[in-house]
Each structure stands twice: as structure tokens, then as C-alpha cells.
Structure 1
Amino acid sequence: MRWFRNKDTLYGFLVLLPSLVLLGVFVYGFILQTFWTSLTDWGRDPTQALSANPRINFVGFENYRELFTGFVDARFRQDLVNTFFFTLFFILGCLGLGLSLAIALDRGPRGEGFFRTVFLFPMSLSFIVTGTIWRWMLQPEGGVNQLPTLVGLPKGEFAWLTSREQIWRFSWNDLPFFTGLVVGLVLLLIAAAAFRAGEGKRGWVASVSAGLLLLWSFTFGRTLKPLPYDELHGFNLAFIGIILAAVWQMSGYTMALYLAGLRGIPEELREAARVDGATEWQLYRHVILPMLAPITLSAMIILGHISLKIFDLVFAMAGADNAPTDVPALLMYLTTFRANQIAKGAAIGMVLLLMVALVIVPYLYRQLKSEVRR
């Protein structure tokens, strides 16, 4: 083979071969096995779930249909809603707090090294340790709720981790409409950015796609109903405590990214903007923040995939059986290893994999494409 005539190429391939084999078997092989399991009825019969030779039948995408439209799987659909709100507030909190801390440290205050270490320290902890600490702080009968008593005020009554109150409720039947609407608006933003960057072809493709999607949403999105009844879901207030703990741990990571980006901006560029009459707000809005856009995108991707597969923090803070604070990864654990519904647990795992892939794969494609252009 001509490809192996080069000894360096052959040696490099042989060095990588064990890693490729292990990766193929223990990553992609198990992913395929999980996908196949999700297409069966393994675990539907409790007497067969853990037997040595269970009778397993192929049922196609029946498990997926039940997850999104079945009557008994409303908890999974609420978990998806929980993940959406958790991801939204987790990313916004980490980006906002991390950027604020980075701007403060970029001004060179006294004790900068000490404060930088303090802000980064939570990131060195595991989510289990963070969850244990914050669970003690947010317990309903103590912790934060006891702080008002220090100044003579009544004790707080907010159930940080056990509240069942929901806000921003909507029907699951409205999901097709809202999905099309949100994706259409995102495509419009992409089109605007493409036109601004001089990429007319890409801008027109995004504009036409957005128009068609928005047209579909307003014409057919309202009539497409996954369920024969209204099933209300919303943001559980019990997630506030978990979001606070997650932001506390990961905001130091975004602070480090933003601080490196701020230190990389030439001082001459800032001075030039000031000479042109730009205020500090205009300097950050028109010069510094646009230059930090790649860092913001990278941080959003990393934080997004962490939030989608979050498990240990929720398990440590609220336990496995607290439905208001449930997430898909936790439900996958309960479904697979407690209820012994192996196939349905595998289906939840594949949904999680798809959600993470939708975040990671476009970013990796864009990064590889930019490296090829260089």
C-alpha cells in the first residue's frame, strides 16, 4: 500500500491504532449498542429485565414516541423544560458574573493575585462537593433562611430546593410553534451577522430559511399538537438554588477566559478609542466586547454542554427522588437502574447525546473549517 511506504506514517498509525481501537469499541461501539437497545422493549416486562437471557423484541422508535407524547412520561417532558431554563440562566449567570469579575481584575486592583485565586477556587471543587455545601446553606429551616434573624427580622420561608411552584407555564402542545419561532429568530440573527460580514450568499440562505420556518410556525405550528390534551410545564422555583450553586462554581472559569482576552487587547487600541472621544461605556460596547465575541462563543459551548448533561450537582443538592428538580440525566439513571426499564433509559440517553451533539458538532465544524482556511 502506497500510504504505508512512508515509515513515519506507518509508525504514527501504529502508535495511534490502540487508541483508535479503544475509542471505536468503548465510545462509538457503546453508542451504537445504546441506540440499538433504545429500539427494543428491554425492561418493559419486569420479570425479563434482569434475567440471564431476556426476551427482547424490536419496537422501532416506540420508546421515543412515548417519551415525547406518552401519558406516563410527562416527567421526562418537564425535565426537558427544566434543562432549558437551567441552561439559559446558568449560561447568562456565568457569562455576566465572569465578565464583571474579569473587568474588575483587568483594572489592576491591589491584591489582584489573591482575588483571582479566590474567584477560581470554586472551579477546583467537584459538583458533589459544591452540591453538599450549598444544600446545607439552602436548607429550608436553616442556612440562608436564617440570615434575616441576625438583624431582628423574621426567618425566611423560601423552599430553595423543595418548592413546587412554577412560573412561565406553557402547554406542551405549543412546543412546535415556539420551537419554530425561536429557531427562525436565531436564523434571522445569523443572516444579519452574515450580511454585516459581507457573506451575502450565506445571509440569503439563512434569511430564506428563517422566513419559511416562521411562515410554517404561524400557519401550521399552532395546529400541530403532540398531545390530545393540554399538559402544562414551567420553570420550577426549586431550581433557583441549583442555578446559584452552578454559577458560583463555574463563573471563575469564564472570568479566567475573559481576563485572558482583556489582557490580550492592545493598550494602544484602547488609547486610540479614548482619543477619538469614546467614553468607557462606548469603549467596551464598540471595541472590547466585539473582540471578546469568540471567547463568549467558546464559553457558551462549554457551559451549554455541561448544563445539558448535569447530574451530580442536582443529585447532591436535591436528591434523586425530588421531581421538581429532576433533569434528563437523573431520570435516565432512575429509569435504567431503579425501574429496570433498560430500553427507555437508553432512549433518554440518546436524546441527551443528540442535544449535546447539536451544541458541540457545529462548533467543532466551524473551528476545523477556520483552521483549514488558515
Structure 2
Amino acid sequence: MRWLKNKDSLYGVLVLLPSVILIAVFVYGFIGQTVYTSLTDWGKDPSQALSANPQIRFIGLENYRELFTGLIDSRFRQDLVNTIFFTLFFILGCLVLGLGLAMILDRGPAGEGFFRTIFLFPMSLSFIVTGTIWRWMLQPAGGVNQLPTVVGLPKGEFAWLTSRQQVWQFSWNDLPFYTALVVSAVLIWIAVAAFRGGQRRRGWIAAGSAGLLLLWALVIGNRLQLLPYDEPHGFNLAFIGIILAAVWQMSGYTMALYLAGLRGIPEELREAARVDGATEWQLYRYIIFPLLAPITLSAMIILGHISLKIFDLIFAMAGADNAPTDVPALLMYLTTFRANQIAKGAAIGTILLILVALVIVPYLYNQLKSEVRR
């Protein structure tokens, strides 16, 4: 029996070995090569950038320092701000619209199958197709701006994809302070959840970390100067059209998730709540919404992953050279393949990888931990 068991294990290893080797080489090997390249000066000398045997020097974190504090890399910093705002509004829009559509369909209206297909249809399109369609619709001289003329009003003048107007501006020097506040808020939320779940040790660790971080933010963070001057950044109004297009495409995905979750809630549970005197709002607030929390978390992780590395939708809608709608993935393409600054492009790619990992890894850790407990 032991021989058969070992034989089965050997067959399993042999079957998995080719996939493991391919992943090790073409995924993690290339990630490692990209990280190493970001620590070099490849592309600093234009004559060496595309040379068959370029002379490359190791310069450590210099490329990262230039991206976050260099004089000529303010576009990258604005791109990061663009990504943060895009991610927030994209996730919020998809969750709210998807949940609303799911709640409507959950009531079983006439033609439910037809409407479900209509709502899911945008998801079947690629971002390139979506971007092309919405670019036509958001042309300054036509499309949406012409809609008011249908009822006799003057046409709209909003520059959907080219506006340079910014709102909610802040100085780049305030970034450490605001980052510390956001992380502290997350730690406090984790602490509250831990205390409610009876995990007191975890709760005290999170609460203590939040307190220390808040103390650092108030004493040091608001004095830390990343740049010797104020560099304002904010939300570009040109992103409104791109956010609308992205929400239009992906809200059907969240609708499908929420609809499956709503249909999985036993009707007896709802009836019991109604018998106990719960109003419709109380039913959703205290029973349905808490049961949908895991679905919301999963949707946020997937949507956040999409938004952080968004490229094709923006490329199709606004082009590669439209600075108001630029994002790090697009700048990485321009820096690497147009400016031939290979190392700096690799540094931008590594930063994107870290941002995505910050979203994905904790989620995967929690999922694996839950499966082990079961």
C-alpha cells in the first residue's frame, strides 16, 4: 500500500512539474527580472538603451526615488492620484449599481431573463470595444453633449475626455499624512471586527498599531516634506467619462454576484424577520446586507485588481498622450517603449505589482485560512 501511495504521489508530482517549471520561469522569473531591471540605470544613456549589449549599472532604489520625489516625474505622481480616485469611484459605482439591479431582479419582475441578459451584455465586450463606443458618445461636438438639443436646449460644452480642471486638490507633501490616516482607519476597523469576534489579542495589536500610526501622523507625518515645494494633485474631471464607461461594463458582473447571493438567502429567513416585525429596510440592513458581505469583499478585490492595472479602456477612449487621463500602466508603456527608459518603466511596473499584491494577497490569505479551519 505504501508503494502504491508513493507511486501516486510520484505521478502527481510528474503531472504538475511542467506547469510549475513554466510558471517559475515565465511568471516569477520575469517578475524577478523586472524587479532587478528597475534597480539599474538601463535607459539613462539613450545610446545604450537599445544596444545589443548595453552597459548596465546597478543603482539601487534611485529610479523609485525619482518617481516619488524627482522634479521631472510629477506626471507619475498625478497618475497615482488618478488611479486612486478611479479605483474608489469605479468600485463604488459598480457595487451600488450592481446591488440595485440585483435587488430589482430579485423581486422577479416580468421579463426578468431579458433584463438580466441586457445588464450582463456589456461584460461580454472587451475594454477596447467599450472604449471605442464611449469615445464616440463623449465627443465634445457630438454624442452626449448633443442630447439637450433634442428638447430644444443648447448643446452641452463639457470636455469629457480632455478637461484639465481638477477638484479635491492636495499637496504631494501631504501624502504621508493622509496615507497614515487611511491606514489607521483600516486598522481601527480591523480592531473593532476582532473585538466583536472575540479575538482580543488581534484587536489590541491592531488598535495599538493604529494609535502609534496616528501619533506618527500628527507629530511627524504632517511635517515630512517629500518635495522642496508644494506640488498640487487632484481628481481630473476628464476621468468622469472613463469611470462611467468602466462602471457600465462591470456593473453587470457585480449584479450577477449579488443576484446569486440574494437567491441563496432562504425565504424562510426573510419571512421570520417579517413575522418578528422587521420593516423592509431593517430586513436588508440587519439580515440581507450582512449575509452579502463576503460577496461584496470578493467583488471589491476583483474590481480593485482591474482598476489598478487598467490600460486598454483608457487607451481606446483617450489615447496614449492625453495627460489628464493618464494612469501608471499607460505611463509604463510610454516610458518603456517610447522613451526607451527601460529601468524606469520596470520600476513603474514593480510599483503596480506591489499595489495589486496589497489588494490580492490579504484576500488570498484569508481565503486559505478559512479553508484550513473548515
- Select between 217-226 and 190-199 the one with higher mean Cα deviation: 190-199
Q: Distance in 2 between matches of 1:250 and 1:297?
A: 15
Q: Determine the structure 1 residue equivalent to 2:14.
A: 14
* Residue pairs, 1:248-259, within 5 angstroms: 248-259=248-259
Secondary structure (helix, strand or coil) at the match of 2:159 reads coil
The offset of 1:3, in angstroms, is 10
What SS does the corresponding residue of 1:48 show, helix, strand or coil?
helix
Q: Which amino acid aligns with 1:301?
A: I
Q: Offset at 1:152?
A: 0.4
CA distance in 2, matches of 1:324, 1:38: 26
1:186 to 2:189 alignment: no
Q: TM-score scaled by structure 1?
A: 0.99
Q: Which runs of 5+ in 2 are unaligned?
A: none
What residue is the counterpart of 1:289 in the other structure? 289
Residue aligning to 1:212 = 212
Report the Cα offset of residue 87 of structure 1: 0.1
SS of 1:47's partner is helix
Contact in 2 for aligned 1:4/1:10 (Cα 8 Å): no
- Structure 2 match to 1:94: 94
* Runs of at least 5 residues in structure 1 that lack an aligned partner in the other structure: none
Q: Counterpart of 1:252 in structure 2: which amino acid?
A: G
1:339 aligns with 2:321: no
For 1:110, give the aligned amino acid: A
Alignment partner, residue 307 of structure 2: 307
Residues 106 and 5 of structure 1, relative CA distance in 2, 3 Å threshold: closer
For 1:4 and 1:364, the matched residues in 2 are separated by 34
Tell me how far 1:62 sits from its aligned partner: 0.3
Sequence identity, in percent?
83
User: Does 1:245 find its partner at 2:249?
Assistant: no
What pairs up with 1:225-374 in 2 under 5 angstroms?
Answer: 225-374=225-374
* Cα offsets for 1:277-335 (capped at 9, x unmatched): 11101100010000000000000000000000000000000000000000000000000
Q: Which amino acid counterpart does residue 219 of structure 2 have in structure 1?
A: T
* Cα distance change, pair 288–100 in 1 and its aligned pair in 2 (3 A): same
Give 1:46-57 correspondences, 5 Å limit: 46-57=46-57
Q: Over residues 151-172 of structure 1, what are the superposed CA-to-partner deviations in whole Å (9 max), with x where a residue is unaligned?
A: 1000100000000000000000
In the TM superposition, what is the alpha-carbon distance from 1:199 to its structure 2 partner?
Answer: 1.5
SS of the residue 2:49 aligns to? coil
Q: The residue matched to 1:167 in structure 2 has which SS? A: strand
Counterpart of 1:325, as a letter, is: T
Aligned pairs (5 A) from 1:66-215: 66-215=66-215
In the alignment, the residues of structure 2 paired with residue 3 and residue 250 of structure 1 have an alpha-carbon distance, to the nearest angstrom, of 51
Find the aligned partners of 1:202 and 1:268 in 2 and give their Cα distance.
36
**Which is worse superposed, 336-345 or 191-200?**
191-200
How many angstroms does 1:197 deviate by? 1.6
Contact kept? 1:35, 1:350, Cα under 8 Å: yes
Q: Which region of structure 1 is more displaced relative to structure 2, 328-337 or 181-190?
A: 181-190
Across the aligned residues of Structure 1 and Structure 2, the Cα RMSD in angstroms comes to: 1.1
SS in 1 for 2:161: coil
Distance 2:202 2:176 in 1: 26
- Normalised by the length of structure 2, the TM-score is 0.99
AA aligned to 1:280 is E
Instruction: Determine if contact 1:3/1:9 at 8 Å carries over to the other structure.
Output: no
CA deviations on 1:22-56 (whole Å, 9 max, x unpaired) are 00000000000001100100000111100111111
Which piece of structure 1 moves more, 48-57 or 347-356?
48-57
Compared with structure 1, are the counterparts of its residues 156 and 4 closer, same or farther at alpha carbon in structure 2 (3 Å cutoff)?
A: farther
**1:46, 1:340 within 8 Å by CA — same for their partners in 2?**
yes
CA distance in 2, matches of 1:110, 1:203: 48
Q: Report deviation, 1:340.
A: 0.2
Three-state SS of the structure 1 residue aligned to 2:233 is strand
- Counterpart-to-counterpart distance in 2, 1:43 and 1:349: 15
Q: In the TM superposition, what is the alpha-carbon distance from 1:353 to its structure 2 partner?
A: 0.2
Q: Cα–Cα, structure 1 residues 4 and 223, in superposed 2: closer, same or farther, change >3 Å? A: farther
- Report the CA distance between 1:190 and its aligned residue: 1.2
Task: Please state how far the C-alpha of 1:222 moved relative to its aligned partner.
Answer: 0.9
Deviation string for 1:229-268 (max 9, x for gaps)? 1000000000000000000000000000000000000001
C-alpha separation in 1, matches of 2:327 and 2:182: 22
What is the DSSP-based 3-state SS (H/G/I as helix, E as strand, rest coil) of the residue aligned with 1:273?
A: helix
Aligned to 1:58: 58
Runs in 1 of length 4+ with deviation above 4 angstroms? 2-5
Aligned length: 373
Q: Distance in 1 between matches of 2:293 and 2:148?
A: 41
Distance 1:48 1:118, change over 3 A: same
- Whole-Å Cα distance in 1 between the matches of residues 194 and 337 of structure 2? 47
Tell me, in whole angstroms, the C-alpha distance in 2 between the residues paired with 1:185 and 1:42: 40
1:132 partner letter: T
For 2:248, the aligned partner's letter is: W
Q: Distance in 2 between matches of 1:3 and 1:33?
A: 41
Could you tell me how far apart the structure 2 residues matched to 1:88 and 1:3 are?
56
Q: Distance in 2 between matches of 1:43 and 1:320?
A: 21
Check whether the contact 1:177–1:221 (CA below 8 A) recurs between aligned residues: yes
DSSP-derived class of the 2:235 partner: strand
Question: 2 CA distance for matches of 1:202 and 1:113?
Answer: 46
Tell me how far 1:177 sits from its aligned partner: 0.4
